[in-house]
Amino acid sequence: MDPLELAGHGPVIPVIVLQRVADAVPLARALVAGGVRVLEVTLRTPAALACIEAIAREVPDAIVGAGTVRSAADARAARDAGARFAVSPGYTGEVGAACRDAGLPLLPGVATASEVMRAQADGYSFLKFFPATAAGGIPMLRALSGPFPDVAFCPTGGITAETAPQFLVLSNVRVVGGSWLTPADALDAGDWPRITALAREAAALRG
């Protein structure tokens, strides 16, 4: 799969932090019911890999990937858990090579022009711009569009339901990443209808 295909399933990729394996499948089903199929489960908790495995096994309509992939070991573990893509907060050649070896499409993180060049030299032209708002936000993305007209971005980090449309109108933005679809209080309460409603609103976002 070309990583850019991920952007074809809707304007928002949820960035998901799961503490309990029991939440994984109902959460994924709630997001899919709202029209959000591409799910990034971050490797930030001890439960993350088991959550990815459960979603891959039990929610076939979801396209589940691993976020916060920082090493070759992370890439292999994500693949073995059933992840269909990987997202990294930054980029190293080691992570890129490991994902290629694992057959795992990678959305590598960048924050500067030098990092864009490094990722592009290794064959990546669809990049995660992270942390989007802290790294310059919309003005930075506009500035990058000049020297890099052939690069597309998924800005992630600090984006909200209110600001997402402002990013989505940019010519070099294909999709945004955001954590607002899966608020911690909704997860803690098992409020799946609320998450479906948030997913439905996100799926309808257009620049």
d(CA 95, CA 88): 8
For residue 1, the model assigns a pLDDT of: 81
Beta strands per DSSP E along the chain: 12-16, 38-42, 63-67, 86-87, 106-107, 109-110, 126-129, 152-155, 176-178
Token pair for 206: 């257009």
For residue 32, the model assigns a pLDDT of: 98
Max CA distance (Å), the chain: 46
Task: Please list the rounded mean pLDDT of every run of 10 residues in the chain (207 residues).
Answer: 90 98 98 98 98 98 98 98 98 97 97 98 97 98 98 98 97 98 97 98 85
pTM beyond 0.95: yes
Contact predicate 77/48, CB 8 Å: no
Sheet holding 176-178, edge to edge: 106-107, 86-87, 63-67, 38-42, 12-16, 176-178
d(CA 143, CA 24): 38
Q: Which residues are catalytic?
A: 40, 128
